[in-house]
Amino acid sequence: MFNLGWVRVANPEAIIAVGQLVAVEVHALGIWSLNLSRVTQAVDSPTRFGFIYATTEMHVEQGEERFLLEFDLASGDLFYQLEAVSRPRNSLAWLGFPVTRSFQHRFARDSHRRMLEEGCSMSAQS
Q: What is the pLDDT of residues 64-114, one digit of tens each?
A: 999 999 999 998 888 999 999 988 887 777 887 888 888 889 989 999 888
Three-point CA angle 39, 20, 117, nearest 5°: 65
- Compute the distance between CA of residue 48 and CA of residue 11 in angstroms, rounded to an integer: 23
- Compute the distance between CA of residue 71 and CA of residue 66 in angstroms, rounded to an integer: 16
pTM above 0.85, yes or no: no
- Tell me which amino acid residue 114 is: R
